Amino acid sequence: MKQIKKNTQVHYFPKQEIVADSVELGSLELRPSFPFIVSGGRNTERYYFKHVSKITDYKFNVRPEYFGDESSYVDVFPERIKKILAEDADAKIFCVFDWDTVYGNAENLRKHRKMERDLKEYIDCKQVVLCPSMPSIEYWFLLHFENRTELMKNYGKVNNYLSPYLKPLLKERLNESLPSIGTFLKREKHLKGSEWVEILCDNRRLETAIDNSKRNIAKALMQNELDKHSYSYVYLAFNNA
C-alpha cells in the first residue's frame, strides 16, 4: 500500500504522545490537549477523523459517544460539549454537521439558532467551533478533487460529482468491486478501512480542500452570497482561522 506522504508544514496542533485506546478497538485515544470532534454523523464523520488522526499530523479526540444521528444534532451537541468541558475545561471542540437538514426547514433553523445562543459563550471565544457543510460532508470530500461551488441541496448530487474521482481510485487500491460512492460513504463496514481517507489525503489533496474551502467561503461572504453556494467549514478543524 502506498504510504501517505507526511505534510512538511507546521500544523496548528502540536504533535504529542499517543496512548492506547480503551474505547474503540483500532482507534486512537488521544490526550485532552488534542481538539475534540463531535458530529451529527455516526459513521462517515467518525471514521474520517479517526483515520485522519492516524495517517496525518493532524490529531483529534475521536470517541464513539460524540457521534450520533444527523437530524438530532441540535439536541445532542450541547450535551456532548458539556460532558467534554466537565472533563477538560480548556478543550477545543469542533462541531461537524450537515446543513441540508436545516436548509429550507424553518423549524430546524429555529432549533439551530437556539443551540447557537445556548453555546454563545463558547462560540464567541472560539472554544467551540461550528463546522457545517452545505449540503453535507461529502461536499468537503469533493473539494479535495475539484473546486465546484454551485449550490447543491442534497448529498446525492454531490456524490454524482465525487464518484468519478473517488471510486476508480478506491477500486484500484482495494482491487474489488464496490457499491455506489453514496452507499460506500454511509456504511460502517466500508468505512472501517483507512484506504478511502488515505486517497483523500494523498498528493496534498487535503491541503487543496482546505485552500478551496477557505477561499470559496471568503469570497461568498464578501459578496453576501453564502446561501447561494455549496460550502464547507470543515477546514476550520485543520486551520486555526
User: Would 6 be classed as within a structural domain?
Assistant: no
- The C-alpha cell that represents 238 in the structure block: 485543520
Domain that holds residue 121: 36-237
Residue 12 has pLDDT above 60, yes or no: no
- For residue range 138-171, list pLDDT tens digits in order: 999 999 999 999 999 988 999 999 999 999 999 9
User: Would 232 be classed as within a structural domain?
Assistant: yes
Lowest mean pLDDT among 96-105, 198-207, 211-220: 96-105
Average pLDDT over residues 41-66: 89
Domain count, the chain: 1
Q: How far is CA 7 from the centre of its chain?
A: 19
User: Would 23 be classed as within a structural domain?
Assistant: no
Predicted local distance difference test score (pLDDT) of residue 17: 32
Lowest mean pLDDT among 3-17, 81-95, 114-128, 225-239: 3-17
Predicted local distance difference test score (pLDDT) of residue 19: 33
User: Would 16 be classed as within a structural domain?
Assistant: no
Predicted local distance difference test score (pLDDT) of residue 68: 64
Predicted local distance difference test score (pLDDT) of residue 7: 41
The DSSP code for 24 is S
User: Would 29 be classed as within a structural domain?
Assistant: no
Strand order in the sheet with 128-134: 36-39, 93-98, 128-134, 231-232
- Identify which of 105, 126, 130 has the alpha carbon closest to the alpha carbon of residue 115: 130
User: Would 233 be classed as within a structural domain?
Assistant: yes
Please report which confidence band the pLDDT of residue 70 belongs to, taking 50, 70 and 90 as the band edges.
Answer: low
Give the E-state strand segments of 78-217 in sequence order. 93-98, 128-134
Residue 129 has pLDDT above 80, yes or no: yes
From residue 114, alpha-carbon distances to 77, 118, 120 in Å are: 12, 6, 10
Predicted local distance difference test score (pLDDT) of residue 67: 73
Residue 44 has pLDDT above 50, yes or no: yes
Q: Between vectors from CA 85 to CA 83 and to CA 89, what angle results, nearest 5°?
A: 155
Percent of the chain surpassing pLDDT 70: 84
User: Would 192 be classed as within a structural domain?
Assistant: yes
User: Would 25 be classed as within a structural domain?
Assistant: no
